[in-house]
Structure 1
Amino acid sequence: MTAATRVLTAHVSLALADKVDEMASRLDRSRGWVMKQALAAWVDQEEERHKMTLEALAEVDAGAVIDHRAIQAWADSLATDKPLPPPIA
């Protein structure tokens, strides 16, 4: 059984289109296949970024944060002979 599909259209620069064509040729795949792979990877990345943002906001709401001054002191110590251990929430 084949999944239902829908055509999406995007205007891209000639340089990007040429790169896609070159990649498709090198991989012996169609331009559409390359575009589907790229779009799927981008969507996965953005979904993961959104999930991580929501998790980080939940940690802030729960009070699991590190004071800015502690982070600054740690970062400043990295250029010294005796760096501090990383602060822990």
Structure 2
Amino acid sequence: METKMLDAHIPLPLAERLDALAFDLALPRDVIVTEAIAAWLDREERRRIVALRTIAAANTIVVVEQDRVIDWADSL
């Protein structure tokens, strides 16, 4: 797989946590960062899909005449 080099400035405490986790897991930092970015992107894409489905559902509201609602309520 081709890769692309990205530079990011992250807060020092976060970098220290990343270094500690990479050491504990014996994994390169880039593996952890790649997995974290992939998980974040997946979550955001799912949120977007849910939001679009919600908007689509809101646009398909069915209007029922008041008389029909009253007739239905009376039939209960």
TM-score of the two chains, using structure 1 as the length reference: 0.66
CA distance in 1, matches of 2:57, 2:48: 14
Of 42, 45, 48, which aligns to 1:47? 45
Letter in 2 for 1:34: I
Runs (4+) of structure 1 exceeding 4 A deviation are none
Give, in angstroms, the shift of residue 47 of structure 1: 0.5
Aligned length: 62
Say which one has the larger Rg: 2
Greater relative CO (CA pairs within 8 A, separation 6+)? 1
Greater helix proportion: 2
Letter in 1 for 2:61: G
Report the aligned-residue RMSD.
Answer: 1.1
Give, in angstroms, the shift of residue 8 of structure 1: 1.2
TM-score of the two chains, using structure 2 as the length reference: 0.77
Give, in angstroms, the shift of residue 63 of structure 1: 1.4
Q: What 5-or-longer segments of structure 2 have no aligned partner?
A: 63-76
Q: What 5-or-longer segments of structure 1 have no aligned partner?
A: 65-89
